[in-house]
Amino acid sequence: MQLEEYFNFLAANDIRLNGTRIGIETILYEYIYRARTPEEIAQIYTSLTLEQVYATILYYLHNKEAVSNYIADWLEWGHRMREEQRRNPSPVVQKLMQFKAEREAMKKGE
């Protein structure tokens, strides 16, 4: 099996393991930023095989610059989305925040 056959290249910013909905960024974040071993990653993501985890790491090592850029873009996108959600919370989140504020005000009044 060729290394690329382990992956489904949906878009330039969306590479997933074949047969799963798990993106390579999920595995590589655990490996690079959390210093987890391939065995630990396979135990966390039980739908993956150890072979798939190793294939992802090998793909990263063979394409380090491109995959590093891919992960950096993914991290930046996540940061932008969290900031956007913080600035413009959904109606449900707004209602929960209002409920929390009312509860805290009641506690202070007791």
d(Cα 89, Cα 68) in Å, to the nearest integer?
31
Task: Specify whether the backbone of 37 is left (phi greater than 0), alpha (psi in -120 to 50) or beta.
Answer: beta
Average pLDDT over residues 30-49: 97
- pTM for the structure as a whole: 0.76
pLDDT surpassing 80 at residue 110: no
For residue 66, the model assigns a pLDDT of: 93
Per-residue pLDDT band for 71 (boundaries 50, 70, 90) equals: very high
Q: Regarding beta strands 7-11 and 14-17, do their DSSP bridges make them parallel or antiparallel, or are they unpaired?
A: antiparallel
For residue 54, the model assigns a pLDDT of: 98
